[in-house]
Structure 1
Amino acid sequence: MSDLGSEEIEEEAENDLGEYEGERNEAGERHGHGKARLPNGDTYEGDYANGKRSGQGTYRFKNGARYIGEYLDNKKHGHGTFIYPDGSKYEGDWVEDQRHGNGVYYYVNGDTYTGEWFNHYRHGQGTYFYALTGSKYVGSWANGQQEGAAELIHLNHRYQGKFVNKNPFGPGKYIFDIGCEQHGEYIREEKPEEEEEEEILVPVLPKWKAHRITSLTLWTPEEPPPPEVPPTTSVEIPTIEEPVVEGSTEAPSESVEATEPSEATSPPKESEEEEEASKDDQGDQASLMTEEKEDEAREPEPQD
């Protein structure tokens, strides 16, 4: 919707002073705070400086429009709010009666524009909200039109690309909430020439030409790599289920480090020899005792 639909009404010049009630300077000019009723029926109440509206004031037009804000030399200059006859409203910066700087325009149909202005037009970066559909345009503007890189956001998808004369044109992509992207471009189709003498100029809207569909590019934090573990040699631990046979010629494994022998793993040879010797001594003693008992039994009994 055009923000110029509510044409501004020119304010009455102060040449025809009309009725005035308020402060004056030594030269008799309106200076300070005062009220004025102009010949065209408009009224102003606010600050004056040397006969001109300067400072904070309220200007009411006879058609119902009004401006509440700052003035400089009879012109809207600074920050102010203009309420138009149709009910639309602008709040923002002014420079010499022009919307210039940053401001918000509230349209009658519920649309809003928030962003930069230049010489009364939407110009620069801004966001336009469409009340009917809930969509919004976020991007560049030039002389009141959508122009340049922008994003058109809808309820369940959005389009990112370039706009030319308020229409998308060139490469772009649609991003859907279901988790995919459709890449393509907007192109202008050439209409066949007509043989009729009179041609009616009809604006040709760009047509979307899809190229490919991809998944969304999601950012995920990178996990740190696992710490490097230095290689280690495997060590085989000998089992103790079976005793080690004396005189075994089996070579030890290369991976087993040399350790001190223990009683549980490898009994020494000396202890085995001593054990066998003690067994032999016990056997000899038992045989001697047996022979002595047999001799005693064979001895004759003494005679009377």
Structure 2
Amino acid sequence: MSDLGSEEIEEEAENDLGEYEGERNEAGERHGQGKARLPNGDTYEGQYANGRRSGQGLYRFKNGARYIGEYFDNKKHGKGIFYYPDGSRYDGEWVEDQRHGNGIYYYVNGDTYDGEWFNHYRHGQGKYLYALTGSKYVGTWANGQQEGAAELIHLNHRYQGKFVNKNPLGAGKYIFDLGCEQHGEYIHEEKPEEEEEEEVMAPSIPKWKASKITALTLWAPEEPPPPPPAVEVAIVEEPTPPADDTATEVPSETTEQPAEAAEPTEETSPPKEAEEEDETAKEEQAAVIAEEKEEELEAQD
């Protein structure tokens, strides 16, 4: 959709039904900032240069579309956003009223394309996101179609190969998140001659032919390494020294205890000998007393 020519008709018409409010140059041309209502019902508010839209501006179409961005010589040129009547929009670079350069197109169904454009078509490197499935095409485009080497990424697997006219064709492989790869190719099946007319009506869809599956590998790059041996040795050796010390200390204490218990027995023996000496002394004294009594009795007689 383009607004090219709308204002030219207004400027060249003998009976000018449009309106303009803004700055002009010495020649009377629209120059600088201004507002215009075109004969077809469109409106423009922005910058002019020598009677033509040039610079930053806002163009509103009577059908509801609008463009906000840069102009040059009455054409969208530079960076700008175009809001289409159906609700979609393009945000990116323009060259002479064409989507050209890098830009993002937001479609009505939620899909998005982010990449290169050439003369209004997706062309070059780009990414297309399918909103319904979450799948994503990352690769090359040609004249609006998926063409060349690309990767089609799905939820739990992806396909790498070449595309021709939106469809995969030739050698490629599927890579699954489980860690395996399936190699093969997409081929066009040949149909009987009586179905040639139907092929023209409905293009054939390439069929996948698997050739091999690579060995399973873990998705992670490598397993975590085991703990260093030094840490293990330190953990084992730390509790052992206390166990050895206690083992040596316990016997030493048990051997000392009997020696301490034997000391009282040696100290108790002298008192027993003293008691025996006292008893003998008492017996001797008693014998002496008895003899003295006998002598006294004999003296009395």
Partner Cα separation in structure 1 for residue 5 and residue 181 of structure 2: 53
Partner Cα separation in structure 2 for residue 130 and residue 84 of structure 1: 20
> Which residue is 2:67 aligned to?
67
Note the residue ranges of structure 2 that are not aligned, 5 or more in a row.
12-17, 226-301
> Which residue is 1:194 aligned to?
194
SS in 1 for 2:110: coil
Partner Cα separation in structure 2 for residue 37 and residue 16 of structure 1: 9
Partner Cα separation in structure 1 for residue 196 and residue 169 of structure 2: 30
> Which residue is 2:124 aligned to?
124
Greater gyration radius: 2
> Which residue is 2:10 aligned to?
16
SS in 2 for 1:86: coil
Q: TM-score, normalised by structure 2?
A: 0.68
Q: Please say if 1:30 is aligned against 2:36.
A: no
Q: Deviations over 1:18-45 (max 9, x none)?
A: 2100000000000000000000000000
Would you say the 8 A contact 1:16–1:38 is kept in 2?
A: yes
Matches within 5 A, 1:1-304: 7-8=1-2, 12-17=6-11, 18-194=18-194, 201-215=201-215
> Which residue is 1:226 aligned to?
none
Per the TM alignment, residue 16 of structure 1 is displaced from its structure 2 partner at its CA by 1.1
> Identity over aligned residues, as a percent?
80
Evaluate the alpha carbon distance shift between residue 36 and residue 172 of structure 1 in structure 2; reply closer, same or farther with a 3 A threshold: same
Moved over 2 A (4+): 7-11, 195-201, 215-221
SS in 1 for 2:193: coil
Would you say the 8 A contact 2:87–2:108 is kept in 1?
A: yes
> Which amino acid in 2 is paired with 1:13?
E
Per the TM alignment, residue 13 of structure 1 is displaced from its structure 2 partner at its CA by 3.2
Would you say the 8 A contact 1:8–1:84 is kept in 2?
A: no
Per the TM alignment, residue 198 of structure 1 is displaced from its structure 2 partner at its CA by 8.7
Per the TM alignment, residue 9 of structure 1 is displaced from its structure 2 partner at its CA by 5.9
Q: TM-score, normalised by structure 1?
A: 0.67
Partner Cα separation in structure 1 for residue 172 and residue 198 of structure 2: 36
| Deviates most, 61-70 or 188-197 | 188-197
Note the residue ranges of structure 1 that are not aligned, 5 or more in a row.
1-6, 224-304
Partner Cα separation in structure 1 for residue 77 and residue 196 of structure 2: 54
| Deviates most, 142-151 or 195-204 | 195-204
> Which amino acid in 2 is paired with 1:40?
N
> Which amino acid in 2 is paired with 1:205?
I
SS in 1 for 2:214: strand
SS in 2 for 1:110: coil
Evaluate the alpha carbon distance shift between residue 178 and residue 119 of structure 1 in structure 2; reply closer, same or farther with a 3 A threshold: same
Q: How many residues align?
A: 216
Evaluate the alpha carbon distance shift between residue 201 and residue 212 of structure 1 in structure 2; reply closer, same or farther with a 3 A threshold: same
Partner Cα separation in structure 1 for residue 128 and residue 181 of structure 2: 24
Per the TM alignment, residue 215 of structure 1 is displaced from its structure 2 partner at its CA by 3.1
